[in-house]
Structure 1
Amino acid sequence: MKKIKQIIENRIKADPYLEPFKSALYQRIINAAETEKMLTGGKINLCDYSSGHEYFGLHFREDQWFFREWAPNAVQIYFLGTMTDWKELPSFALKPLGKDGIWEICFPGHMIKHQDLYRLSIHWPGGKGDRIPAYARRVVQDPDTLIFNAQVWNPPQPYVWEINDPIPKPEYPLVYEAHVGMAQDAEKVGTYNEFKENILPRIIDSGYNTIQLMAVQHHPYYGSFGYHVSSFFAASSRFGTPDELKSLIDTAHKSNIRVIMDLVHSHCVSNQVEGLSLFDGTLNQYFHDGPRGFHEAWDSRCFDYGKYQVIHFLLSNCRYWLDEFHVDGFRFDGITSMLYLHHGLGKAFISYNDYFDQSVDDDALVYLTLANKLIHTLRSDAVTIAEDVSGMPGLALPVSEGGTGFDFRFAMGVPDFWIKLIKEYKDEQWHMGTLWHELTNRRKDEKTISYAESHDQALVGDQTIIFRLMNREMYEHMHIHDQNLVIDRGMALHKMIRLITLTTAGAGYLNFMGNEFGHPEWIDFPRQGNNWTYKYAKRQWNLVDNPELKYKFLAEFDKDMINLANRFEILKGFEPELLYIHEDDKIIAYSRGKLVYIFNFHPVKSFTDYKFDVLQGTYKMIFNTDRLEYGGHGRLKENQSHTISLYLPSRCAIVLHRI
């Protein structure tokens, strides 16, 4: 009791706005503790409890196959597949275990083979339906019938990991967000092997220390970008086999690149055969009953985090990906939707009352707390990131300090601000004070990851930063010898926006694949509205590899910028400190550690002998956005030293090192 009170006092001391919500903070800690005790019975630990994937599903042990499923409303279940000629055979009928809704069947080892297909036929009062098992570890689609089935995965030679020890956890993740299927030039679905061979070397060379893989969990509809998950324990077979995904992760680990994955526990696809909706004939087996069980905006189902079976399923899912695929952590998708009954739709979070009113789903908050505790107990090196737009306090505080336990939260307001700035204001109207505020406005006791744009801004219907800056001019004027004012402006601002976003970030930075070199196209997956084309479901690395095009300049800049961040550890231990700001001149200057950053956002004015106060010393220019190698104008002399009297070309940023 005293310990909890002290934890709350410490939180209020760090954030006085929490004072009116003492009792709610206290109750949240108690809720998580009591739920954990209920789940474990006080006899086992949370890690042991979260191993449902080793009990449920299909397993081969001691020359026998065991299969178990939770379906409390079922009256009969048959195991169907290649081995039964897809017929309901009495010898393949599951038997109920007690009254908990668990069903089981056991087969001799020879009856099921590697790569056999299977599914369940579940009977319930008044009906029946075929279902993919909830814990299926592999799901494949027939290329002709387009029907999905679970597939036995028991290769004669299981994958042997070359790297078993955890990769050292970076203090500041530099994240390369990637989608395996789109990570190639051809109009098709890319593979794990192609990503490993063609894209991973690019990421390693670029200096990023973390890959965030999208769309890993199996999803029936490719165009959902991987966010309409149906089989939570199955790696997407579109991209290859489980062993090929393991090889990709293993290869990344060999180069000290960590791999985290998008984990979608915020909702589930509404499909019935492939998903969990109406799995045992009821709508509320895994989900809330009634309207609360449906996410109307996403056309999906909402988990009931108050059910211990659901918590067991999702916690086991966390452990499964850590154990089976050696992932180094997770980006939890759709946290805002989980945390609030209104899902954050049309909601402006303007008061702390919004974080503690009746709209908060306390059960979801408990689940996220237990998930983070589990993940960090299993792997102290694991990283968890919250995708939350609401600003819920405490999300990225350790559980031991009364928080939800995420290591980082995304600074989701930053890309929104960049869009608003570019879209609604002329360059000469950019307000430097507002820009500084938006880039640095974050909870000081929680670590954040900033980004100028992610996959969200690249989707069809939206626009990337480069396209907002250049529009259609980039289709015709990106040749290295083509002089074009629109392109010059776009490239200059593209570099400056990325540099200021990274160097003002709290504790990490993210880039979506291809955006580092200004990829010109949006993302649009095959669908009926575009005649099922893959034309825009790819990334054109041929553009950056073409020496005659300017994309190579932006890629070189991004590589050197990331190298600068690594070399000087600029996100480690220092907050940016504003030194100087001038609205008319469009100048922002700030320091971070021993580096000073000066940005001239003015569209036409260059300044000579520009002066402002800094710490005493001599400063050497070590980086600037105007270098010819970055597609700039080369107006600055390399390695020049300053006692701070600067030449500041228009639309240019420079970085000084205090000697």
Structure 2
Amino acid sequence: MTNPHAPLTPHDVYLFREGSHAHLYGKLGCRLEEEGAHFAVWAPNARSVAVIGTFNDWDGNAHRLHARPDGSGIWQGFVPGVCAGQCYKYRIDSPYAPAPFDKGDPYAFHWEVPPGTASRAWRLDYDWNDAAWMETRARANALDAPWSIYEVHLGSWRRVPEDGNRFLTYREIAQPLAEYARAQGFTHVELMPITEHPFYGSWGYQTTGYFAPTARYGTPQDFMYLVDTLHRHGLGVILDWVPSHFPDDPHGLARFDGTYLYEHADPRRGYHPHWHSAIFNYGRHEVRSFLLSSAMFWLDVYHLDGLRVDAVASMLYLDYGREPGQWIPNARGGKEDLDAIAFLRKANTSIYRFHPDVQTIAEESTAWPMVSRPVHLGGLGFGMKWNLGWMHDTLDYFRQDPIYRKYHHDRLTFSLWYAFNENFVLPLSHDEVVHGKGALLAKMPGDDWQKRANLRLLYGYQWAHPGKKLLFMGGEFGQPREWDHETSLDWHLLAQPEHDGLRRWVADLNAYYVATPALYQRDFDADGFEWIDCHDAEASVLAFLRHAPGSPLVLVVANFTPIPRHGYRIGVPQGGYWRERLNSDAACYGGSNLGNAGGARAEAIPAHGRLQSLVLNLPPLAVLYLEPSVSAEGVP
């Protein structure tokens, strides 16, 4: 690894132009020293480049940069007197623009608070206190570890209504978020994009600052403090990262030197019709180095534990979101973006080379094969992939009135046909509670009691299903209204027993999940799952086992109707007493408190192809977790 803070060398330029430089931060951009700052920017089609800022009264003639003589297109120079915090931009004169124009620094570590658009000179010094986490995180981030991810939008998790409904800063949110997520039993926190973005309503998915946490919530050191605090509470931190597209704001990357530099010139490849944004030119070596360096930057500098890569499907397919005639086939005549595929493989290979103890997670919505398989085996090299098929099928099933669910039983069972083709994360994310889709609670049918029972059942089923777990903030206590990025979550609802009961259910699910290797150790291995009965569509009941070496079996039985089922017989693989470990219908969660008095003893009566069976009371709209154990008298 080259020293990211040493001056730009010929070898750096070689790697940059080759498309394999993964540590360009501190090489390009603004590098502060005691007497001023070195500046370096890639603008190969410019006639001239100058640094303008508060240190020279924004004078385009005061500090002109010089083009390197190696043909790299990099302009560089030293500006005396530049101090941390001062604002700056590049003034670019291009033969392809009618007049000089100003651009922010693509490699800036810090920006003005939007709507300000200037970059800010900054250092990234910080005294970290997360050594214990960093030394042991390989275990917490392993694929056979428990992953229960709490997805958070920082600007709306909690606000200060008595102070103009303002955001919490990175430092203000750090302790309460860490304490809450830890108390709820989550293992990781996933942050929706905090990379600098001009439009708050984009939630960060329209990024301009690929090396800067948004200044809306504070400084880079403030964000480091947030990550540090989460780590000291035993929580991994995942960043939502968006290499798929970028906005065309005048101060950003679009037409950076007067030409289509970072993006494709042809709109059939360079314009994204879904998001009205520009698409990176993954075939340009310098662009690949830019994106590689951005990915590595967050892992190197901010100690992050993973990157969730947004909109991977839009990168893989040239016809994504386009009608016939609106896209250009690749050199082989196909619709696959060969350059993007090569970039994703390179990015994942580089990330795991330098950080084998982190994970990359693809939000990929198609049936593209081997997304989470190693590059050397022909895969894309991600550690995990969101299972959006499971999410859509499951929510569609739960929207059904229970009287009709027997006709949609396959929506629940189909996911197990492909559950082990990838390393899946099961997401109930922000995308499902916005744009008129309603909150998760609002999607559930029935009266208020049934809605909450359905939601407890949904979470119980999700936590038992093979795959890592992800839940968007507010879902854990059943917020009934759709998520609004301009307001805080409805924390006052926790004063109501029914909402606090749901929160307690999620906390207890997490606690049991983390303590039970059968529920996570073989998430990506078919040997960790076994059907007891997937055919009882008439009663809308599912029963299955989860198991792992050295861990007790877990029997999961779910009743997806509001009809209590007394005396329901379930075949089990062994005799003895089976202890009821969790019951979503328990009174403490807001249920009707129907159960099995702590457990049931197996009988030597065959059922479901097994020699032993249990007779259980299945509560309405509820899930049971049972383990083979000992009875209250200590008799197996």
Normalising to structure 1: TM-score of the pair? 0.83
Question: Does residue 387 of structure 2 align to residue 404 of structure 1?
Answer: no
SS in 2 for 1:233: strand
The answer to whether structure 1 residue 196 and structure 2 residue 168 are counterparts is no
SS at match of 1:583: coil
Letter in 2 for 1:591: L
1:650 aligns with 2:620: yes
Q: In the alignment, residue 116 of structure 2 is paired with which amino acid?
A: I
Query: Residues 437, 245 of structure 1: CA spacing in aligned structure 2 closer, same or farther, 3 A cutoff?
Result: same
Shift of 1:107: 2.4
- Contact 1:386–1:409 at 8 Å: present in 2 too? yes
Deviation string 1:261-312 (CA, Å, 9 cap, x unpaired) is: 0010011111121x10011111244434343210021010001101101101
C-alpha distance after superposition, 1:474-506 (max 9, x if no partner): xxxxxxxxxxx7111111110111111221133
CA distance in 1, matches of 2:417, 2:86: 54
Matched, 1:152 2:112: no
User: Which structure 2 residues correspond to residues 83-482 of structure 1 after superposition, within 5 A?
Assistant: 83-90=55-62, 92-98=63-69, 99-108=71-80, 111-125=81-95, 126-141=98-113, 146-154=115-123, 158-164=125-131, 165-166=134-135, 167-168=137-138, 169-170=141-142, 171-185=145-159, 186=161, 187-273=165-251, 275-343=252-320, 358-423=334-399, 426-431=402-407, 433-442=409-418, 444-451=420-427, 453-469=428-444
Aligned-pair distance for 1:362? 0.8
Contact 1:439 1:505 in 2 (8 A): no
User: 1:288, 1:303 within 8 Å by CA — same for their partners in 2?
Assistant: no
Unaligned runs of 5+ in 1: 1-38, 348-353, 471-484, 526-533
Is the 8 Å Cα contact of residues 47 and 377 (structure 1) preserved in structure 2?
A: no
CA contact (8 A) 2:273 2:321 kept: no
Counterpart of 1:93, as a letter, is: R
Q: In terms of mean alpha carbon deviation, does 46-55 or 60-69 score higher?
A: 46-55
Instruction: Supply the distance in 2 between the matched residues of 1:439 and 1:494 (Cα, whole angstroms).
Output: 19
Amino acid at match of 2:73: G
Whole-angstrom CA distance in 2 between matches of 1:183 and 1:587: 36
3-state SS of the aligned residue for 1:313? helix
**Aligned ranges 1:550-565 → 2 under 5 Å:** 550-565=498-513
Identify the range of structure 1 (404-413 vs 629-638) with the bigger mean alpha-carbon deviation: 629-638
Q: Choose 317-326 or 159-168, whichever is displaced more.
A: 159-168
CA distance in 1, matches of 2:87, 2:19: 31
2:539 aligned counterpart, secondary structure:
coil
Letter in 1 for 2:502: L
Greater per-residue helix proportion = 1
Per-residue Cα deviation, 1:407-443 (whole angstroms, up to 9, x for no partner): 1000011221233224455543344641332332425
CA offset at residue 67 of structure 1? 0.5
Contact (CA 8 Å) 1:181, 1:189: kept in 2 or not?
Answer: yes
| Cα shift at 1:190 | 2.7
Moved more, 212-221 or 606-615: 606-615
Quick one: distance in 2 between partners of 1:78 and 1:371?
A: 32
Distance 1:135 1:344 in 2: 30
Q: Are the equivalent residues in 1 in contact too, given 2:36–2:83 (CA < 8 A)? A: no
Q: CA deviation at 1:148?
A: 1.6
TM-aligned CA deviation for residue 93 of structure 1: 0.8
SS at match of 2:594: coil
Deviation at 1:373?
0.6
1:439/1:501 contact within 8 Å kept: no
Structure 2 residue 490 is matched with structure 1 residue 540: yes
> In the alignment, is residue 628 of structure 1 matched against residue 578 of structure 2?
no
Residue identity in the other structure for 2:183: D
User: In 1, are the aligned partners of 2:262 and 2:280 still within 8 Å (CA)?
Assistant: no
Q: Work out whether 1:82 is the aligned partner of 2:58.
A: no
Call closer, same or farther: CA 1:133–1:54 in 2, change over 3 Å: same
| Displacement of 1:225 | 1.0
The one of 599, 617, 622 aligned to 1:640: 599
For normalisation by structure 2, the TM-score amounts to 0.86
Distance (Å, rounded) in 1 between the aligned partners of 2:179 and 2:323:
42
Runs of 5+ in structure 2 lacking a partner?
Answer: 1-10, 325-329, 548-552, 603-613, 630-636
SS in 2 for 1:578: strand
Q: How far has the Cα of 1:48 moved from its partner?
A: 8.0
Q: 1:344 to 1:388 in 2, by over 3 A?
A: farther
Count of residues in Structure 1 that have an aligned counterpart in Structure 2: 576
Question: 1:481-537: per-residue Cα shift (whole Å, max 9, x none)?
Answer: xxxx7111111110111111221133x110111111111221234xxxxxxxx3xx3
Residue type of the partner of 1:627?
A: A
| Cα shift at 1:460 | 3.0
* Number of the residue aligned with 1:496: 457
Change (3 A) 1:278 1:41: closer
Distance 1:49 1:147, change over 3 A: closer
**1:480 paired residue number:** none
Say if 1:177 and 1:285 are closer, same or farther in 2 by CA, change over 3 A. Answer: closer
Shift of 1:50: 1.2
Which residue type is aligned with residue 456 of structure 1?
Answer: D
CA RMSD of aligned residues (A): 2.5
Aligned CA distance change for structure 1 residues 502 and 345 (closer, same or farther; 3 Å): farther
1:572 counterpart residue number? 521
Q: Distance between the aligned counterparts of 2:186 and 2:620, measured in 1?
A: 29
Percent identity over the alignment is: 26
